[in-house]
Structure 1
Amino acid sequence: MERSRAVERINVLSDAILEIASQTNLLALNAAIEAAQAGDSGSGFAVVAEEIRKLAENSKETATEIQSVTQQVLESVHHLSVSSEQVLSFLDEKVSKDYDMLVETGKQYNADARMIDEMVTEFSATSQQLYSSVQSIMRAINHVSQAAVEGASDTMEMANETTLIAHRSQEVLERVKAVKESAERLLETVSLFRV
């Protein structure tokens, strides 16, 4: 804005130059009339008056051109000012809001990933306890199986079922570990959104 005022000042100065050129042109015209009235003795003065008139005309043309260029610069500054305001408005209304939303979404993803990680860790610990309990039961049944002669087939079947349960528990534990690893990878990915 300060620079546009400087350009306006150039316009004012150009007006002053035009006024001076106009006055100089009038003086040159008066001098030419005086020289003509003086006859031969004023011929030298007539040459000087003509040169002053030409200088006044050149000054007028230059000042007019300066005014034209100054007007173009003022229009460009105005358009630039309007464009700058539009860019600032766009940044404030669109980009800033989208950025804030992205930051909030990243925070939410991060919180969700942490919650999933905690749940998977708890589930993993519970599954581990379940697996240990099943192993203990299996050992107890094996002891009973070895000690008992009667009903051995029933005990064996129970032992087989317990073994199957132990295998299933092992599978569950492995799946829980896989889910935990996925949750940790998700947590790492979400941490990239942190600001």
Structure 2
Amino acid sequence: MSGHGFHVHGPHDHELEHAAHGNDDFASRIAVMTAIMATVGALFGYEGGATQNDAAMFKNEAAIKKTEAANQWNFYQSKSSKQNLAELAMVLPGADAEKYKAKVARYESEKEAIKKDAEKLEAESKEWEEKSENALHQHHRWAQAMTAVQIAISLAAITLLTKKKWLQYASYGVAGIGVALAGLAWFHI
């Protein structure tokens, strides 16, 4: 068919060729704007995923510290029980009161060190919990920014179909909101 210099165009071929090789500055600007927004959106999506992972890791670390603190409090309770038994043994007839008095003093000093460790671990758990909450808040900001950029891209597609200038500006505005939200995420606000 076209091998001998003769080619038959379909009814839509002319329009496609005109669109591909035409000088439609409006469509070109929208296409470039959409490509830029898609790139920026991908960066926002990456940051959103990274902060979500951070939040999960921090939450995990908080749980580990909380478990370690609970273990220390169990150890503290064990020492308290031994101290109570030693105090009871001191008053039993025929018991070596001095021996049990020394044990009571030893358990008391051991409990203090254990209590300090448990309280330190609880404080660390609380710090990790706060880091997790902050990272999750930052993740939400990145997700909001990404959503705004996706909406802007959709508006750009509608702009291309309708050739409405006001939709182009609306798309720019929504993309600007996305960038502003990303700025809030970047600065942890």
TM range (shorter): 0.5 to 0.7
Secondary structure of residue in 2 paired with 1:106: helix
The question of whether the paired residues in 1 share the 8 Å contact of 2:86 and 2:100 is answered with yes
Query: When the two structures are aligned, how many residues end up with a matched partner?
Result: 119
1:179 shift after superposition = 1.6
Q: Which amino acid aligns with 2:110?
A: I
Residue 86 in 1 paired to residue 32 in 2? yes
Indicate which of 54, 72, 75 corresponds to 1:109: 54
Distance in 1 between residues matched to 2:114 and 2:93, nearest whole Å: 27
Equivalent AA in structure 1 for residue 36 of structure 2: F
C-alpha deviation, 1:137, in angstroms: 0.6
Q: 2:134 and 2:46 mapped to 1: Cα distance?
A: 18
1:17-96 aligned at under 5 Å gives the runs: 78=25, 82-92=28-38, 94-96=39-41
- CA distance in structure 2 between the partners assigned to 1:127 and 1:96 by the alignment: 46
Does residue 128 (structure 1) correspond to residue 59 (structure 2)? The answer is no
Letter in 1 for 2:91: Q
% of aligned pairs identical? 9
What is the SS of the residue equivalent to 1:147?
coil
RMSD: 2.7
Determine which structure has the larger helix proportion and give its number.
Answer: 1
TM-score by length of 2: 0.53
Distance 2:67 2:136 in 1: 22
C-alpha displacement at 1:101, in angstroms?
A: 0.6
Q: Matched residue of 2:91: which SS?
A: helix
Match of 1:172 in 2: 117
- Cα distance in 1 for partners of 2:52, 2:133 equals 13
Which structure 1 residue ranges, 5 or more long, are not aligned? Answer: 1-74
State the Cα distance separating 1:81 from its structure 2 match. Answer: 5.1
Higher CA-based Rg: 1
